[in-house]
A and B are shown apart, each in its own frame.
Chain A
């Protein structure tokens, strides 16, 4: 089945530790995205990648880092510099970037809930 997978579903971290969230897609999509969602709020963009080996900061990139070494993978690292990391993290992908029409429809993974203890 084609889709986006995120792991783990639930993640607990001690304060001061870095943690990496996994996102994999087998849809052959060029563009991938990371969003953060806080209770009762909409989605805020952390980082996005238009193509392999390229990524750009979104609206709330501070305290996060990403890599895009393979087309199908876009891992997100939540560093100890992120002051309030407890949130629900969503990964998404789209066929292409800024191409218009259906190419920009973003499809989401099931999410990872990160809790900092």
Chain B
């Protein structure tokens, strides 16, 4: 099955820095979801996007649904140590073949 291209694959940042990651596809999606996964745990839904161009925030997190509907971006402002984890994007096309397609993940590590 298809996987979305997510970049960067991993990043080391210092506490307090802002973080940006993105997800791209050759296909159009109707919904974009962003998840965070801690080691040994299930992914937790952070933000959901339903319309092209939509910008949605959840605390220090901001995500955007790309205008072409083929990409999405996640920004984390003023990172803190508990932001460490793997961030996954997921895209959804509604219809008879409606299944979530996941990105390959961005591993974030925050240093003090």
Residues of A within 8 A of B (CB): 4, 6, 40-45, 48, 58-60, 88, 90, 92, 97-102, 104-111, 113
Contact = CB atoms under 8 A, between A and B. Distances in A.
Contact of A106 (B95, B100, B104): B100
B31 interface: yes
Contacts of A59: 1
B74 interface: no
Tier of interface size on chain B: 20 to 34
A113 B104 CA distance: 20
B94 A99 contact: yes
Contacts, number: 65
Contacts of A88: 40
Contact of B50 (A48, A90, A101): A101
Given A58-B99, A59-B1, A100-B94, A105 B45 contact: yes
B40 to A, nearest CB: 7
B48 A102 contact: yes
10 contacts: A41-B104, A41-B105, A42-B105, A45-B99, A58-B99, A98-B95, A101-B50, A104-B94, A106-B45, A106-B100
Nearest to B41: A110
Interface string B55-97: 0000000000000000000000000000000001010101110
Contacts of A45: 1, 99-100
Contact of B88 (A6, A42, A48, A104): A42
Given A58-B99, A59-B1, A105-B48, A100 B30 contact: yes
Interface string B28-55: 0011010100001111110010100000
Contacts of B1: 44-45, 58-60
Contact of B98 (A40, A104, A108, A111): A104
Given A58-B99, A59-B1, 19 more contacts: A41-B105, A42-B88, A42-B102, A42-B103, A42-B105, A43-B102, A48-B99, A88-B40, A90-B43, A98-B94, A100-B31, A104-B98, A104-B100, A105-B33, A106-B45, A108-B43, A111-B41, A111-B42, A113-B40
